Amino acid sequence: MSHRPVHAPNLPKPVGPYSPGMGFERLVFVSGQGGKNPATGAIASDTAAQTEQCLKNIETILKAAGTDLQHVLRCGVFLIDMAEFKEMNAVYERMFGDHRPARTTVEVSALPSDGLRVEIDCIAYVP
């Protein structure tokens, strides 16, 4: 058994010494993704836009690993203000459609880049 890093072009560079994703057998573990646009480097304007960008970044990593959002088993969502849950949740529901991965959502005091309101990580499988 071996693990392998998952890299994808056009993703924001990690802010620390970690891979965007790690594959192990048929599982893919995606590191927390913020709402940074990989083309511009800019952080999306609000919680809804950041949530969409987080999930687009996750989707890019998953595709590089041979899977997609419909094969996500679990997500962790980190908000700096739980009052923004409704905005995040509406985008999350739209992006996942009828698929409903297990999820934990927590409020955190800060995220690793100024302006980040939300970060999402996940575990998926390769079909």
Domain boundaries, the chain: 3-125
Are 95 and 125 in contact by the 8 Å Cβ rule? The answer is no
- pLDDT-derived band at 122 (thresholds 50, 70, 90) equals very high
C-alpha torsion angle, residues 1, 69, 65, 60 (rounded to 10):
-150
pTM for this one? 0.96
- pLDDT-derived band at 11 (thresholds 50, 70, 90) equals confident
Helix (H, G, I), strand (E, B) or coil at 77: strand
What tens digit of pLDDT does each residue of 67-82 get?
999 999 999 999 999 9
7 pLDDT above the threshold of 90: no
CA dist., res. 25 & res. 111, Å (int): 30
What is the third-level CATH fold of 3-125? 60s Ribosomal Protein L30; Chain: A; (3.30.1330)
φ, ψ for residue 43, nearest 5 deg: -85, 135
Tokens coding 41: 């480097």
